Structure formats: C-alpha cells, structure tokens
Amino acid sequence: MIDQLCQNYPTEAKAEFRMPLVWTSRVVPSSFPAGSGTWVIKEASKSHKASVASTAQRFDGQPIFFLEQIANAEVPMYRAKVASFDLLQKFLQVANEQKLTELQEIIQGKHLLKQVCRDPFTNIFGVSGESGKALVEAFDAFNNETDPRKKEQYSKLYKLLLVINSFDLQLMSTAVKGVTK
C-alpha cells in the first residue's frame, strides 16, 4: 500500500505527519546510498553517534527522516523517526529484506521497550483511527485552523486521509467479495 500510495499519489505521500512515527531499527547507516541527495550520512566518531538524516525537512526544521545509533546497545541498534510516507517508502527500500521486520516495529510502536506511537494513525493524522469519525475530526481540525502554514499542512493530511480511506474501502470490498464466494 505504501508503494502504491507513493506511486499514484506522490503529493499526498509527501504530506508531513502531525507527529513522526518512532521505532527501534536494525538498519545500519552503511545501508543507505551515499551521494543520492536524499540522505546525509554521518559515521560514528568520538564526537557523535552514527546517524542518517533526510535532506527534506519538516516545518520545524527537523529532518523528515532521522536514524540515530542508540548508545550502550550490545547489538547495533538505531532509533528511527519518519514523518511522511514518501520517506518511509525510501527507507523501506533501503531496508530491503528487513522491510517486514521494520514495518512490524513501526506498527507495534515499540522503542526501547516503551510504547511511543501506540496508534500510528493518531501520530500521522492527529485523530482517532475510527474511519468515519477520523474524517470528520480531520476536517474539523483543518477547517478550524487559523495559522496558514498549519492549515496548508492539515489540508495535505486531509487529502492523504481520503486516499488511505479509499484504500481501506477497496480492501473491505475485496474481503467481502471473498467471503460471499
């Protein structure tokens, strides 16, 4: 679904999440392609931990994607944060055969044994995951926002929510057809 979203709806896929998704990752910085223009890769040194940041930034100036080595981990572990489906898809391409493990970590929302994003839907849209209610809540958030920058961000998120809702309806339709047969 992430691949389809990024391919068919590239503008919506770049919409910045209300809060980034955070998880523990085993993807190492050396897996990222150097010189691609998408990633800034820093190897570990005495002065800083190994990290990877996206060149694309959030409204607050932070990178949309950030991966940083976790200190004192016996096995190399990293904390990953992402705030758009576009960069999540690019990260999953880098993760390659670890893609499903990474997706599971994101969905479970576990980071260093703490629940960070218990409901990824809420982190992305800032509303509950109940389908009908989410559309109304997201529309209200968009409609009631007075800050023009936030209103533009909420507009993009609302369009993204509509696209994801259509994917959900397609899946439901396919499941119902399968059950009725």
User: Percent of the chain at pLDDT above 70?
Assistant: 91
C-alpha–C-alpha distance, residues 174 and 181, integer Å: 11
pLDDT (tens digit per residue) in 121-138: 888 887 776 656 777 888
Furthest C-alpha separation in the chain: 63
Confirm if 106 and 83 have CB atoms less than 8 A apart. no
**Burial class of residue 11 (count of CB atoms within 10 Å of its CB; 0-12, 13-18, 19+):** exposed
Q: Look at the block and give the residue holding tokens 């507009």.
A: 155
For position 113, what pLDDT does the model report? 44
Mean pLDDT of the chain: 85
Query: Would you state the torsion angle of the CA atoms of residues 163, 127, 58, 56, taken in this order, to the nearest 10 degrees?
Result: -30
pLDDT (tens digit per residue) in 60-76: 899 999 999 987 667 77
Confirm if 12 and 1 have CB atoms less than 8 A apart. no
**Burial class of residue 61 (count of CB atoms within 10 Å of its CB; 0-12, 13-18, 19+):** exposed
pTM of the model: 0.84
What pairing do the DSSP bridges indicate for beta strands 65-69 and 51-54? antiparallel
